[in-house]
Structure 1
Amino acid sequence: MSDPAPKGETVAARLVALRDHDEEMRRHLLKAGRLFEGYCPEMEQVHLENAAELEKIIAEFGYPSVSKVGSEAADAAWLVIQHAISRPEFMRRMLKILQKLPAGEIDPRNLARLEDRIRMYEGLPQRYGTQFDWDDDGKLSPVLHDPVAEVDRRRRELGMESLAEATEHFRKNQEFTPDPAFLERHRQGYREWLIRTGWRHRATDGTLK
Structure 2
Amino acid sequence: MSRFEGTAAVEYDDRISMLVPGYQIMHEATASLMAAHYTEKATILVVGAGTGSEILTLSRINPNWSFVAVDLSQDMLDIASVRFHEAGISHRVSCFCGDLSQLRRVKFDAVICLLVMHFIKGLNDKQEFLIEITMRLKHHGQLFIADYMKFSQDEVALAQVNMSMLQGMNRDSVAQMQAKMSLDFDALSANQLYKLAREVGLSRPKTYFQSLCYQANMLTRL
Give the TM-score range, shorter chain: under 0.3
- Which structure has the bigger radius of gyration? 1
TM-score by length of 2: 0.27
TM-score (norm 1): 0.28
- Which is bigger in relative contact order (C-alpha 8 A, separation at least 6)? 2
More helix by share: 1
Q: Which has the higher strand share?
A: 2
